Amino acid sequence: MKSILAALALTSALVAPGLAMARPVTLTATLNNYGGDGAYLALYVTDADGAYAGTVWMAGGKSKYYEHLSDWYRATGGDPAQIDGITGASVGAGRSLEITLDLADALFDAGYTLHVDAAVEDMRDSPNEVAVPLTTAGAGQPVPGRRYVASLRYDM
């Protein structure tokens, strides 16, 4: 379990719509026992048009492996500025990642989607492992991932 309070260190896209209007959100991702090494996870948000809006968290510290988080990598070009200050350790099989951060109110109920890309050494890459719309109604509802993520939930 990891509990991290990220300050407003998100990219400008996430905080610009309402800097003053933010609320603490806790994201919890629980992984399956997929029988492999620790998973790299990229948590990021796209807007209503599907365009990349900003990264929320990067679990996994070695930039050379980021290309395996292929959707995130394609959107950002692996830009280290996107994850500056919001990078943590990779998440082991069967473990949970829990992060608390202030997210702009404007991200909710406005068509934004939270995505998770996942990759594990010597196993399949899983871009878009989870995609969950950010809505106030959806808070507290666990959503399963495709391969590695057993459930992803956000609580406000």
Least distance CB 150 / other proteins (angstroms):
13
Q: Which amino acid is at 80?
A: P
Residues 108/45, Cβ–Cβ less than 8 Å: no
Residues 60/54, Cβ–Cβ less than 8 Å: no
Please state, as a whole number, how many other Cβ atoms lie within 10 Å of the Cβ of residue 91.
22
Least distance CB 121 / other proteins (angstroms):
8
77 interacts with other proteins by CB under 8 A: yes
Number of residues that bind other proteins (CB under 8 A): 23
Nearer to other proteins, 37 or 84 (CB): 37
DSSP string, 25-94: EEEEEEE---SSSPBEEEEEEE-TTS-EEEEEEEE---GGGGGGSHHHHHHHTT-GGGGTT-EE--B-TT
Site string for other proteins, 57-76 (x = CB under 8 A): ----xxxx--x--x--xx--
> Within a 13 Å sphere around the CA of 69, how many CA atoms are in the beta-carbon half?
31
Least distance CB 23 / other proteins (angstroms):
32
**Of positions 131, 147, 150, 151, contacts other proteins by CB under 8 A:** 147
Least distance CB 145 / other proteins (angstroms):
10
Nearer to other proteins, 64 or 137 (CB): 64
Q: Which residue has the tokens 């959107």?
A: 75
Site string for other proteins, 85-124 (x = CB under 8 A): ----x-------------------------------xxxx
Residues that bind other proteins (CB under 8 A): 35-37, 61-64, 67, 70, 73-74, 77-78, 89, 121-126, 128, 146-147
